[in-house]
Amino acid sequence: MNKYLLTAILTIFAFIARAQNDGDIIKVGDQMPAFTIVSDNGTKMSSATLKGKVTLVNFFATWCPPCQKELADVQQKLWPKYKDNKNFQLLVIGREHTDAELAKYNEKKGFTFPLYPDKNRAIFGAFAKNLIPRSYLIGKDGKVIYASKGYTEEEFAELMEKIEAAVK
């Protein structure tokens, strides 16, 4: 009986490890995928407009507790420091959310940075298969210089250091 239990546990751990690794499509060193953000009113923003800027692409969902912690740090630490930097662009993208949902969420949270919709996972799907929050720091050359999934204070501090080095 113990042999079967051990086998089952090892199988579960192997499945979880594989599922986590399979979530990555874009990795450090890869070129940022091309994408277009389409708002509910039809306005569009193309990733091509980000050329030459350091860009942080963050994916979140309004129901995700780690996302809430990360976005609180974005509001308190990151956005005040970089919002006026002409070499930096922040894209906080709501996975499976519309503009209307994001506006209601933003009203509740009081964030001062813009939120962008990805109601069909079209943009998220170009970067990853699963797991949020996710952040991708893109260098001025369009290549990913830092990628993270999940949220910890230590990882956020590392992201801030990477941004600081990249915008110089």
Please write the tens of the pLDDT for every residue from 70-101. Answer: 999 999 999 999 999 999 999 999 999 999 99
Residue 107 has pLDDT above 70, yes or no: yes
- Would you say 147 and 133 are in contact if contact means Cβ atoms under 8 Å apart? no
Give dist(CA 114, CA 102) in Å, integer.
9
User: Residues near 39 by Cβ (< 8 Å), separated by ≥ 6?
Assistant: 99, 116, 117
Q: pLDDT at position 6, please?
A: 52
- The structure's pTM equals 0.85
SS3 60: strand
Residue 20 has pLDDT above 70, yes or no: no
Residue 17 or residue 27, greater confidence: 27
- Would you say 26 and 34 are in contact if contact means Cβ atoms under 8 Å apart? no
Domains detected in the chain: 28-165 (3.40.30.10)
Residue 7 has pLDDT above 70, yes or no: no
3-state SS record for 116-136: EEECCCCCHHHHECCCCCEEE
Please identify which residue in the block is written with the tokens 């420091």. Answer: 81
Q: pLDDT at position 131, please?
A: 92
Confidence of residue 19 (pLDDT cuts 50, 70, 90): very low
